[in-house]
C-alpha cells in the first residue's frame, strides 16, 4: 500500500503552536505525540509540519503511527512519531515559487493531502540543506501561537496561579479587565500583592510583556510576576518573581512600535 503525504499544522494539544515539543520529539526520534490530521490518514503516512507563525513554513516532518481517529482537540488525530527538524525550512513564499498554481498556498490553514508530483518535490526539497536557510527555526519556548491558542494558554496559566495562591490562603481577586498592569490582587492577613500572570506553552522563560506591565513591575513594590511554563500540560510549573527579581532577571527587547502622525 502506498503511503500518503500530508501537510499538517504545527502545534498539538500540548504545544499550541510552539516549536518546543517538535524539537524535543526530534531529539531522539523515538517519542510521539497526538497530532491533528485528516480523517483519511493511515498508519505510515508521511506528515510535513507547517507552522503559520512566526515563519509560515514547513519546519519538520514526522510519520503517522496509527490511523486517524476522532480526537479530543481536533476532528481527527493520529499518533505522530519519528520527528525530524528540516535543516532548511520550506517557506510559504518558496512554495509559491515552486507551485504557482497551487490554490492551497493562498489559504494554507486546511490540512492537505499531496499528489505525487507535489509530494516528491517537497520531500526532495525537505532533504536538502541550504547554505543560507530562508529562516532560522529556534525553540522560543514561549509558544507565540495564534490568538485563540494564546487565550487557551493564558486561561490555563491564570487558573494555575489562582489555585496556587488560594492554597497559600490568599484571597484572589481578578483585576484582569481593568488594565492596571497586573491580573490579580492577592490578600492574606491584611497584606496585598499584585500578580501579573504569563502563560507559556513551552519550557523557556520568554514571553511578551506590555509597557504598562513593565511600568508596574518597575514602580510597584507589591508587584509579583507569575510565569507558568508548559501551562497546558500536567508538567506545568509556576515561577514567581518579585518586582526586584523581574528587573534583575529579565532583559527587555522591543517587539513593536506604535506610529502616529508627527
Are the C-beta atoms of residues 63 and 44 closer than 8 Å to each other? Answer: yes
Are the C-beta atoms of residues 6 and 42 closer than 8 Å to each other? Answer: no
Within 10 angstroms of residue 121's Cβ, the number of other Cβ atoms is 15
* C-alpha atoms less than 13 angstroms from C-alpha of 74 in its C-beta half-sphere: 22
> Which are the contacts of 207, defined by CB distance < 8 A and separation ≥ 6?
142, 198, 200, 227
- Residue that finishes a domain, picked among 61, 96, 126: 126
What number is the average pLDDT over the span 140-156?
65
Query: Quick check: is 133 in a domain?
Result: no
The most confident of 52-61, 138-147, 189-198, 248-257, by mean pLDDT: 189-198
Query: Quick check: is 135 in a domain?
Result: no
Tell me, yes or no, whether 103 and 15 share the same domain: yes
Instruction: Check which CATH number belongs to the domain holding 161 and give it.
Output: 3.40.1350.10
Tell me, yes or no, whether 197 and 157 share the same domain: yes
* C-alpha atoms less than 13 angstroms from C-alpha of 140 in its C-beta half-sphere: 19
Are the C-beta atoms of residues 58 and 114 closer than 8 Å to each other? Answer: no
Ordered DSSP codes for 49-111: EEETTTT-EEEEEEEE-S--EE-SSSSEEEEEEEEEEEEEEEEHHHHHHH-TT-GGGGSTTS-
Tell me, yes or no, whether 155 and 60 share the same domain: no
Residue 60 sits in which domain range? 5-126
pLDDT in tens, 98-128: 998 999 898 887 788 999 999 999 999 888 8
Query: Quick check: is 140 in a domain?
Result: no
pLDDT in tens, 184-241: 999 999 999 999 999 987 777 888 899 999 999 999 999 999 999 888 777 789 999 9
Q: What is the pLDDT of residue 87?
A: 85
Q: How confident is the model at residue 147 (pLDDT cuts 50, 70, 90)?
A: low
- Residue that finishes a domain, picked among 76, 97, 126: 126
- Residue that finishes a domain, picked among 70, 95, 126: 126
What number is the average pLDDT over the span 23-50?
86
Domains identified in the chain, total number: 2
Mean pLDDT for the chain? 84
Query: Quick check: is 138 in a domain?
Result: no
Amino acid at each position: 500500500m502506498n503511503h500518503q503525504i500530508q501537510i499538517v499544522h504545527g502545534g498539538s494539544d500540548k504545544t499550541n503552536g510552539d516549536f518546543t515539543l517538535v524539537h524535543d520529539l526530534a531529539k531522539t526520534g523515538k517519542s510521539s505525540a497526538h497530532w491533528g490530521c485528516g480523517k483519511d490518514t493511515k498508519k505510515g503516512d508521511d506528515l510535513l509540519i507547517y507552522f503559520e507563525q512566526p515563519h509560515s513554513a514547513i519546519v519538520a516532518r514526522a510519520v503517522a503511527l496509527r490511523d486517524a481517529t476522532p480526537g479530543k482537540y481536533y476532528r481527527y488525530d493520529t499518533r505522530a512519531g519519528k520527528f525530524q527538524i528540516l535543516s532548511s525550512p520550506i517557506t510559504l513564499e518558496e512554495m509559491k515559487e515552486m507551485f504557482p498554481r497551487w490554490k492551497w498556498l493562498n489559504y494554507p490553514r486546511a490540512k492537505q493531502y499531496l499528489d505525487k508530483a507535489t509530494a516528491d518535490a517537497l520531500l526532495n526539497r525537505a532533504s536538502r540543506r541550504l547554505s543560507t536557510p530562508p529562516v532560522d527555526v529556534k525553540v522560543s519556548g514561549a509558544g507565540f501561537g495564534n490568538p485563540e491558542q494564546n487565550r487557551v494558554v493564558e486561561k490555563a496559566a491564570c487558573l494555575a496561579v489562582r489555585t496556587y495562591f488560594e492554597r497559600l490562603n490568599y484571597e484572589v481577586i481578578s483585576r484582569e479587565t481593568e488594565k492596571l498592569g497586573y491580573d490579580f490582587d492577592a490578600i492574606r492577613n491584611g497584606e496585598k500583592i499584585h500578580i501579573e500572570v504569563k502563560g507559556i506553552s513551552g519550557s523557556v522563560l520568554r514571553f511578551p510583556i506590555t509597557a504598562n506591565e513593565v511600568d508596574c513591575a518597575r514602580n510597584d513594590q507589591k508587584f509579583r510576576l507569575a510565569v507558568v511554563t508548559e501551562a497546558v500540560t500536567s508538567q506545568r510549573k509556576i515561577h514567581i518573581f518579585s518586582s526586584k527579581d523581574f528587573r534583575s532577571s529579565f532583559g527587555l527587547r522591543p517587539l513593536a512600535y506604535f506610529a502616529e502622525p508627527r
